[in-house]
Amino acid sequence: MNNANDSNTSDTVAAETRAASILESGRNCWRIERADRLALIVDAADYFVHLRQVLIAAKREVLLIGWDFDFEIDMLPGETETNGLAPDGYPKQLGDFLEAVVENSPELHIYMLKWNGAVIAAPGRFLPTMALRVFAHERIHFALDGHHPFGACHHQKIVVADDSIAFCGGIDATEDRWDTSEHAPDDARRTRKDGSLYGPWHDATTALTGAAARALAELSRRRWHRATGDEITAPDDAPPPVWPDGLPVALRDVDVGIARTEPPYDGAEIINEIELLYLDAIKAARERIYIESQYFATESVCAALEERLKEDDGPEVVVINPESAKSELEDRAMHVLRGRMIRRLRAVDHAGRFRIYHPVNAARVPIYVHAKILIVDDRLLRIGSSNLNERSMGFDTECDVAFECDEAEARDTGQVIAGFRARLLAEHFGAASEVVEQLHRDGHSILEIIDELNSDIGRGLVSIEPEKEDWLDGMFADKRLLDPRYLPGETTSAGQGIRPRHLAVAAAVVGIGFLGWYVWRSRSRT
């Protein structure tokens, strides 16, 4: 009798826990799958080291899905070379590294899928891309993905090796991404191929094994098939995952939600799981919402934050953004929208709970924030490719991963979530994570921690103020020229009109024609 009562009580508690879950498969995430191991990686210097280890260890199949790949980047700048090789015995440049990996693993196939619009966005990388496509090893399969509405882009950043270990987050293997968490002023390792220096860059991603990795592999194969029409057969005898040396395991045996954005295309309806996850997480927040994003321009998220800030006892909201966009055009299109959102949120923020900042390094140089992170209380952590703009909610193709803790797991998962937030804040202040964690344990709110550690000298966070608008700014903002989206129920016609792949082909034809003309002209003069 007592056993029956105990069983009923356990079932009731379990049901209440499930009802309280933020992640909901089929609604705000595609799947919820178990990760045997999960790690959180901040900044590309560490990511590239771990990525190389995983690719070197791969035996059967590697899936590389990205917004862009630059095959000429130095993945390990500053590392000592021996006979032209990095300390791990492989070339430092991405393209040469991948060819060496395949050469040294006789059964390995690498599939690389890159957004075709990146050819236009970064035309200087077009020839290296074509060179890899034409001359690379026969077991390196490369494709440009143009299966999307005009103007949209494939923005996912996924790597899966042997269906056993995956990376998913915001870091592309392309130019200007490499940086350490110190974001040191004038770091000579932040050097482009042309010898120029680029500024400090902040980013994040995840590493996962187990069923979660297999699900990301399935998602990647679906995208390859959609882009090329070819099927990739999953390896049936893949070896167990090789966990990178030096990569701390944050959690073991944790359920991970995989959330997507996909625009309507070829008769398929829009998928806006990422947007719904943002809204559900904001609604569930009790004490604090912490966001890092490249943009801050999503109408639905702004409205959700407005409602929470109107409450007498709602959560604190901290947003970390770049100071400015990468171009004046982008500033006009995106940060004018950000300014409008800041004004709206401050207008309802009667308790002073909303802050938005940009980080600076020791020389007070702005650090570009490319990370895409949402942390709600000590309860939910989301990292992925999606920005807080309209494109990421219903126009571009995105993939995020998220995990949460319930009351039974609060001790482990909740500590990891709180610890990761502390690690991010500590980086922005140039402090030790333990300092932030202690302030949190002492009962300080996130705003109190920021006020305690922030400084006008050296590393810190600088408040972002809305900029004045002129008529041109207003036009860009009102029309959402660079930030469109589809809403649920809207459709788009596939295969009609000028597409990014048409522009890419036209650019290639013009380039080849010019090269032919130049060679002919040179020969005619001799």
pLDDT score, position 5: 44
Same domain, 393 and 282: yes
Average pLDDT, the chain: 88
Q: For residue 258, which of 244, 246, 271 has the smallest C-alpha distance?
A: 271
> Between helices 44-57 and 94-103, what is the axis angle to 10°?
20
pLDDT of 130 above 70: no
User: What's the whole-number mean pLDDT along residues 11-40?
Assistant: 79
Of the pLDDT bands very low, low, confident and very high (cuts 50, 70, 90), residue 7 is: very low
pLDDT score, position 491: 86
Domain edge (last residue) among 223, 254, 285: 254
User: What's the whole-number mean pLDDT along residues 181-194?
Assistant: 95
For the chain, first and last CA: distance in Å? 102
pLDDT of 6 above 60: no
What digits encode the pLDDT tens for the residues 495-509? Answer: 333 344 444 554 555
Domain for residue 13, yes or no? no
Q: How far apart are CA 41 and CA 23, in angstroms?
A: 22
Of the pLDDT bands very low, low, confident and very high (cuts 50, 70, 90), residue 330 is: confident
Same domain, 267 and 196: no
pLDDT of 522 above 80: no
Same domain, 274 and 370: yes
User: What's the whole-number mean pLDDT along residues 58-75?
Assistant: 95
pLDDT of 218 above 50: yes
Domain for residue 402, yes or no? yes
* E strand spans, 170-250: 201-202, 204-209
pTM, whole model, 2 decimals?
Answer: 0.88
Same domain, 260 and 238: no
* E strand spans, 263-341: 271-272, 288-292, 316-320
Question: Which residues span the domain enclosing 368?
Answer: 256-479
pLDDT score, position 128: 52
What digits encode the pLDDT tens for the residues 408-448? Answer: 555 689 999 999 999 999 999 999 999 999 999 999 999 99
Q: What is the CATH number for 108?
A: 3.30.870.10
- Return the minimum-mean-pLDDT range out of 28-32, 298-302, 511-515: 511-515
Domain for residue 15, yes or no? no
User: What's the whole-number mean pLDDT along residues 365-391?
Assistant: 97
pLDDT score, position 493: 56
Domain for residue 333, yes or no? yes
pLDDT of 122 above 60: no
pLDDT of 118 above 70: no
For residue 56, how many other CB atoms are within 10 A of its CB? 18
Same domain, 175 and 303: no
Token pair 């709600």 is found at 376
User: What's the whole-number mean pLDDT along residues 86-104?
Assistant: 95
User: What's the whole-number mean pLDDT along residues 92-107?
Assistant: 95
User: What's the whole-number mean pLDDT along residues 284-312?
Assistant: 97
Same domain, 290 and 414: yes
Tell me the Cα Rg of the chain.
Answer: 24
Whether 24 and 280 have beta carbons less than 8 Å apart is answered as yes
Same domain, 335 and 241: no
- Cβ contacts of 297 within 8 Å, gap of 6 or more: 334, 337, 338, 341, 388, 389, 390, 483
Same domain, 377 and 333: yes
Tell me the helices (H) and strands (E) count for the chain, helix number first: 16, 18
Of the pLDDT bands very low, low, confident and very high (cuts 50, 70, 90), residue 332 is: confident
User: What's the whole-number mean pLDDT along residues 55-69?
Assistant: 96
- Report the percent of the chain where pLDDT is more than 90: 72
pLDDT of 516 above 70: no
Q: How far apart are CA 32 and CA 258, in angstroms?
A: 6
Higher pLDDT among residues 191 and 473, named by residue? 191
Same domain, 248 and 260: no
Whether 145 and 115 have beta carbons less than 8 Å apart is answered as yes
Same domain, 310 and 219: no
Q: How many separate domains does the chain show?
A: 3
pLDDT score, position 267: 85
pLDDT score, position 472: 79
What is the torsion angle, in degrees rounded to the nearest 10, for the CA atoms of residue 208, residue 213, residue 219 and residue 225? 120
Of the pLDDT bands very low, low, confident and very high (cuts 50, 70, 90), residue 2 is: very low
What digits encode the pLDDT tens for the residues 233-285? Answer: 998 887 888 999 999 999 999 999 999 999 998 888 999 999 999 999 999 99
pLDDT of 8 above 50: no
Q: For residue 397, which of 256, 194, 518, 222 has the smallest C-alpha distance?
A: 222
Same domain, 418 and 272: yes
Domain edge (last residue) among 195, 230, 254: 254
Of the pLDDT bands very low, low, confident and very high (cuts 50, 70, 90), residue 402 is: very high
Same domain, 516 and 466: no
What digits encode the pLDDT tens for the residues 473-489? Answer: 788 788 888 899 999 99
pLDDT of 185 above 90: yes
Domain for residue 484, yes or no? no
Domain for residue 10, yes or no? no
Domain for residue 25, yes or no? no
